[in-house]
Chains A and B, each alone.
Chain A
Amino acid sequence: GNSVTQMEGPVTLSEEAFLTINCTYTATGYPSLFWYVQYPGEGLQLLLKATKADDKGSNKGFEATYRKETTSFHLEKGSVQVSDSAVYFCALSDPWAGGTSYGKLTFGQGTILTVHP
């Protein structure tokens, strides 16, 4: 079945440091890929997405590129802020196969990011 693997956390950085959170996936076909963010006490929010190979998703200074050849979707940000402290989840949706499963998201285990001033 489909699966998502994220780098082990937690990740602790100083403000303005460069961030990378690794994500790799296993799936057949062409899934869509996502990064979700969860701030303390809240639900998950979509941060960015990419629906086909070589697409780059971006939002709020975060970027991730859909790499089919390495089955990866690593999250990056050039300069993190204290307000970026949160849990980050990589996810994929089943590729369309004419059935009813392609709306389902499979999540990684989440990576806790803490940014210090």
Chain B
Amino acid sequence: DAGVIQSPRHEVTEMGQEVTLRCKPISGHDYLFWYRQTMMRGLELLIYFNNNVPIDDSGMPEDRFSAKMPNASFSTLKIQPSEPRDSAVYFCASSFTWGDYTNSGTEAFFGQGTRLTVV
């Protein structure tokens, strides 16, 4: 498998424009995560899906942010309208899980990230 694939790798856009980030998770993984990384805030979890269903979007900063996962092999994170403070590296990660109450585990794999610059 090629790993988690994100596109584009770099995006420069003007304030007010719509930005769409894309992610293809690893086949067979049942979780998908969107993270944002900045120097000031570190790594922040924005939203995650389990079996294509959004489970927790409490990390999404504002209504300008939205995420979808229409099928098991594709997800998008959209910012509309974009603002300079949205500039960051956005990571997508997918994971598989296993286990029961006595022993459980998970392992997340990250994409290379999308570096977003809003000017």
A residues touching B (Cβ–Cβ < 8 Å)? Answer: 30, 32, 34, 36, 42-46, 49, 51-52, 89, 93, 95-98, 100-107, 109-110
- Give the dominant DSSP class at A's interface: loop
Contacts of A103 in B (CB 8 A): 30-31, 48, 50, 95, 97, 106
Contact check: which of A34, A46, A89, A96 meets B99 at CB < 8 Å? A96
| A-B contact list, 12 entries, CB within 8 Å | A30-B103, A43-B113, A44-B110, A45-B110, A49-B105, A89-B43, A96-B101, A100-B55, A102-B106, A105-B33, A106-B45, A110-B42
Residues of A within 8 A of B91 (CB): 43-44
Residue of A nearest to B44 (CB): A107
Given A51-B104, A103-B106, A104-B33, check contact A43 B112 (CB 8 Å). yes
Q: Which residue of A43, A49, A98, A107 contacts B107 across the interface (Cβ within 8 Å)?
A: A49
Question: Could you give, for residues 90-116 of chain B, a 1 whenever the CB lies within 8 Å of some chain A CB and a 0 otherwise?
Answer: 010101010111011111111111000
